[in-house]
Chains A and B, each alone.
Chain A
Amino acid sequence: MSSSALTTSTDNRTDSGVRRRIISTAAVLAALVLALAIGHDLLHMPLQVSDSLSLIADAARVPTAWQAFFSHLAGAGYFRPMFYAEIKLLYDLTGGDSLQLVYRLFHALLIVAYLVLFVRALQVRDALTLAAGAFALTVFVGMHTFLGGVKEIYPTNHFLQVALLALLALNLAQSRGGLLVDLGLLVSFTVASLILESGLLVWVVIAAAWMAGMPGVSKRAVIGATLLLAGYFVVRFGIYSTGLPTVEERSTGYLLETLSQAQIRERFGDNLWPLYGYNFLSSISSVLFSEPRSGVWRFVRSIRGDQLAPRHFIWLGASLFSTGLLVAYVTSRLRAGVRRPVTLADRHVVVFAAVLVANAAMSYVYTKDEIMGTAGAFYGLPVYGAMVYFLRRWPASPRTWQATAFLVVLYMAGSGAWAVRAAGVHHVLRSEAFLQRNDWTQMERQWRENGNWEHYADQQPLVRRLRDEAVATPVVNPRFVPGWAERVFDIYY
Chain B
Amino acid sequence: MAAVAIPGAVLIVATACLLLALPLGIDPLWQVEPVTLAEAAALRDTGEIMRLIDRGQDPNRAQTVRADLLRNEPVVITPLEAAVAVDRPEVLQVLLDNGAVLDNAIWTRLSCFAREIGADDARTVLDARRPAGAADECDHVETPW
What is the size category of the interface that chain A forms with chain B? 35 or more
Classify the interface of chain A: helix, strand, loop or mixed: helix
> Which A residues are CB-close (under 8 A) to B6?
412, 415
Complex Cα–Cα for A33 and B47 (A): 30
Asked if B8 and A419 sit within 8 Å, CB to CB, the answer is: yes
> Which B residues are CB-close (under 8 A) to A430?
29-30
Asked if B47 and A438 sit within 8 Å, CB to CB, the answer is: yes
Q: A131-B2, A434-B47, A445-B93 are in contact. Are A37 and B18 (CB under 8 A)?
A: yes
> Which B residues are CB-close (under 8 A) to A412?
3-4, 6-7
Which of A127, A426, A477 is close to B45, meaning CB atoms less than 8 Å apart? A477
Asked if A40 and B8 sit within 8 Å, CB to CB, the answer is: no
Which of B4, B10, B31, B46 is close to A391, meaning CB atoms less than 8 Å apart? B4
Name the distance in Å between A273's Cβ and chain B's nearest Cβ.
Answer: 41
What is the size category of the interface that chain B forms with chain A? 35 or more
* A468 interface residue (CB < 8 Å to B): yes
> Which A residues are CB-close (under 8 A) to B2?
131
> Which B residues are CB-close (under 8 A) to A231?
none
Q: A128-B1, A412-B3, A441-B94 are in contact. Are A474 and B30 (CB under 8 A)?
A: yes
A residues 375-399 touching B (CB-CB < 8 Å): 387, 391, 394
Asked if B3 and A472 sit within 8 Å, CB to CB, the answer is: no
Asked if B1 and A131 sit within 8 Å, CB to CB, the answer is: yes
A residues 415-460 touching B (CB-CB < 8 Å): 415-416, 418-420, 422-423, 426, 430, 434, 437-438, 440-442, 444-445
Q: A441-B94, A477-B33, A480-B33 are in contact. Are A37 and B19 (CB under 8 A)?
A: yes
B residues 27-51 touching A (CB-CB < 8 Å): 29-33, 35, 43-51
> Which B residues are CB-close (under 8 A) to A131?
1-2, 4-5, 9
Complex Cα–Cα for A362 and B127 (A): 49
Classify the interface of chain B: helix, strand, loop or mixed: helix
* B24 interface residue (CB < 8 Å to A): no
* B11 interface residue (CB < 8 Å to A): yes
Complex Cα–Cα for A473 and B50 (A): 11
Asked if A137 and B8 sit within 8 Å, CB to CB, the answer is: yes
Name the distance in Å between A153's Cβ and chain B's nearest Cβ.
Answer: 16
Q: A442-B46, A477-B35, A480-B33 are in contact. Are A134 and B69 (CB under 8 A)?
A: no
Complex Cα–Cα for A468 and B54 (A): 9
Name the distance in Å between B54's Cβ and chain A's nearest Cβ.
Answer: 7
Asked if A441 and B19 sit within 8 Å, CB to CB, the answer is: no
* A198 interface residue (CB < 8 Å to B): no
Complex Cα–Cα for A138 and B97 (A): 45
* B67 interface residue (CB < 8 Å to A): no
Contact with B along A460-487 (1 / 0, CB 8 A): 0000000010111111110110000000
Which residues of B pack against A, CB within 8 Å? Answer: 1-12, 15-16, 18-19, 22, 29-33, 35, 43-51, 54, 69, 90, 93-94, 97
Which residues of A pack against B, CB within 8 Å? Answer: 30, 33-34, 36-37, 40-41, 44, 127-128, 130-132, 134-135, 137-138, 387, 391, 394, 408-409, 411-412, 415-416, 418-420, 422-423, 426, 430, 434, 437-438, 440-442, 444-445, 468, 470-477, 479-480
**3 closest A-B pairs by CB:** A134-B8, A437-B47, A131-B5
